[in-house]
């Protein structure tokens, strides 16, 4: 990550320089009414070649509250697919109304991230399945009980036998849920259609917003297919987000809790901005209610900039074009 090699001021200058370069390139093409051949954001593919039978089984598992210790909480409880894959709460709620420690990120497009969870503690969607299942304040169960339940259900037992050629196992359950989650992509949103050559897919305000998104340097952390999700970054690059007057809790320390290294304090996986207009509240603690507010905060603490309300509105207009819908089978 660039910030590991540059101090905060140097990193900020580099981010702005990259943003300005990309902005100039885009402007040249825009004047010719063409879309650049290479943009820092790329469209989500329409199809990725998944196993339909595994997706169907994984969907059922994802929505089954009986996988939890008390039969009340499913994966979908915190990742509501009718609500952009989130629960809309600052902090997720698990079994018996217990509070988690961080805001539940969207499950949509989660396969596009290089790591999973805010602190990036696992690399694959298969690996992440155990964490909510076994967490005592989330689903509060164990693999023995999960597999006993699935093996005793004739429909589940039949499906696992047909698809995996075995009785339900930890590996096959993880794979089925992960395969379903991989199917939760949101291609062909307005901005993707714009990237593919439809200049009318977004309006002039959104185009200005994308211009500012790049010129201010937001693009230095939010780029690629997921518009983020591919690196770690500290919350508070050029200006400390937490200071001596702030009550810092363990979840605020981010990757430091995993590595114990001071340089990783307050460092998190950069979230994807896909569908961000639908996934409030924001940040790891769900403390920011509006998209306008979080744009202003990111500009101040990550880029050292104070944005006008007009520029914030334009950037929000661009971010709204990143919305997309899941094409479920």
Whether residue 174 lies in the annotated active site: no
By the 10 Å C-beta count (0-12 exposed, 13-18 middle, 19+ buried), 192 is classed as buried
Q: CA dihedral defined by 233, 291, 20, 22, rounded to 10 degrees?
A: 80
DSSP 49-65: ---HHHHHHHHHHHT-G
Catalytic residue (one of 31, 39, 126, 138)? 138
Interacting residues of 293 by C-beta distance below 8 A, sequence separation 6+: 282
Is the distance from CB of 281 to CB of 287 less than 8 angstroms?
A: yes
Strand partners, 55: none
At residue 193, what are phi and psi to the nearest 5 degrees? -65, -35
User: Rounded CA gap, 187 and 50, in Å?
Assistant: 15
| Dihedral sign of CA atoms 128, 125, 263, 251 in order | negative
CB neighbours of residue 105 within 10 Å: 22
Catalytic residues: 138
């Amino acid at each position: 990550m660039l910030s590991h090699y540059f101090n905060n001021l140097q990193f900020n200058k580099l981010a702005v320089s990259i943003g300005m370069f990309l902005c100039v390139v885009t402007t040249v093409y825009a004047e010719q009414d063409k879309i650049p051949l290479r943009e820092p954001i790329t469209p989500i593919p329409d199809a990725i070649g998944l196993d339909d039978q595994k997706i169907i089984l994984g969907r059922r598992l994802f929505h089954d509250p009986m996988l939890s210790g008390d039969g009340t909480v499913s994966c979908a409880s915190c990742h509501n697919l009718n609500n952009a894959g989130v629960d809309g709460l600052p902090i997720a709620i698990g079994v018996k109304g217990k509070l988690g420690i961080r805001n539940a990120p969207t499950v949509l497009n989660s396969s596009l991230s290089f790591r999973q969870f805010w602190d990036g503690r696992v690399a694959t969607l298969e690996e992440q399945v155990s964490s909510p299942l076994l967490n005592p304040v989330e689903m509060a169960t164990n693999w023995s009980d999960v597999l006993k339940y699935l093996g005793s259900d004739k429909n589940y037992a039949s499906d696992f036998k047909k698809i995996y050629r075995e009785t339900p196992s930890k590996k096959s359950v993880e794979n089925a849920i992960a395969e379903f989650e991989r199917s939760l992509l949101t291609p062909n949103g307005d901005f993707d259609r714009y990237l593919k050559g439809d200049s009318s897919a977004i309006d002039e305000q959104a185009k200005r917003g994308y211009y500012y998104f790049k010129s201010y340097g937001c693009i230095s952390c939010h780029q690629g297919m997921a518009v983020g999700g591919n690196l770690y970054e500290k919350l508070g690059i050029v200006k400390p987000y937490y200071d001596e007057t702030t009550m810092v809790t363990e979840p605020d320390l981010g990757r430091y809790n995993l590595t114990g290294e001071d340089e990783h304090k307050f460092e998190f996986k950069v979230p994807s901005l896909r569908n961000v207009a639908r996934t409030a509240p924001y940040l790891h603690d769900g403390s920011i209610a509006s998209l306008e507010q979080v744009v202003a905060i990111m500009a101040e603490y990550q880029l050292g900039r104070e944005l006008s309300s007009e520029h914030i509105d334009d950037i929000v207009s661009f971010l709204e074009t990143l919305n997309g819908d899941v094409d479920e089978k």
